[in-house]
Amino acid sequence: MITRTENLPNGASLSWPEILESLPFNTDGLLPAIAQQYDSGEVLMLAWMNRAAILETLSTGRVCYWSRSRQSLWRKGETSGHHQYLKELRIDCDGDTLLLLVDQLGPACHTRRSSCFYNAVRSDRVVVISAPLPP
């Protein structure tokens, strides 16, 4: 159903509850979700959301993922305090990926780096391109 927006003009809209029910969750009931810092544009991390995580994120304004390793809802920042405040949830053209524009409190990465993408492939080396934020 999300593909029905493809030919709509800028500003047109469809029902979110109806689109949510038709999103193509994978066989584990999950969609990948990219978190991007809303003002700087920095891509922070990728994690996974199920239907419950999406609904909780929208209702609380704090990002909640599904932890595949723990098989439970993962309220980002629950233990670290490094919450992600949702600015906007976006959906791609075929509905199988989410983009979360967020305001990240502290580092997004468990290594205390601002982003999880701190490894860069440069010729035959993988180079660390950022340092952990100070405590």
53 touches a copy of itself (CB under 8 A): no
Tell me which of 30, 43, 73, 105 binds a copy of itself, using CB under 8 A: 43
In the complex with a copy of itself, the residue whose CB is nearer, 26 or 78, is 26
Non-local (6+) Cβ contacts of 71 within 8 A are: none
Residue 34 in contact with a copy of itself, rule: CB under 8 A: yes
Is 41 a binder of a copy of itself (CB under 8 A)? yes
- Which residues 6+ apart lie within 8 Å of 11 measured at CB? none
Among 8, 29, 60, 80, binds a copy of itself (CB under 8 A): 8
Query: Does the protein bind a copy of itself through residue 134 (CB under 8 A)?
Result: no
Based on CB atoms, which residue is closest to a copy of itself, 78 or 129?
A: 129
Question: Which of 25, 30, 51, 58 is in the footprint of a copy of itself by CB under 8 A?
Answer: 58
Rounded Cα distance, 43 and 110, in Å? 15
Contacts of 119 (CB under 8 A, 6+ apart): 126, 127, 128, 129
Q: Which contacts (CB < 8 Å, 24+ apart) does range 56-60 have?
A: 57/86, 57/89, 57/100, 58/86, 58/89
Residue 47 is inside which H or E element, if any? strand 43-49
Q: Does 92 bind a copy of itself (CB under 8 A)?
A: yes
Which residues are at the interface with a copy of itself (CB under 8 A)?
A: 2, 5-6, 8-17, 19, 32, 34, 36, 40-43, 45-46, 58, 88-94, 97, 99, 109-111, 113, 116-131
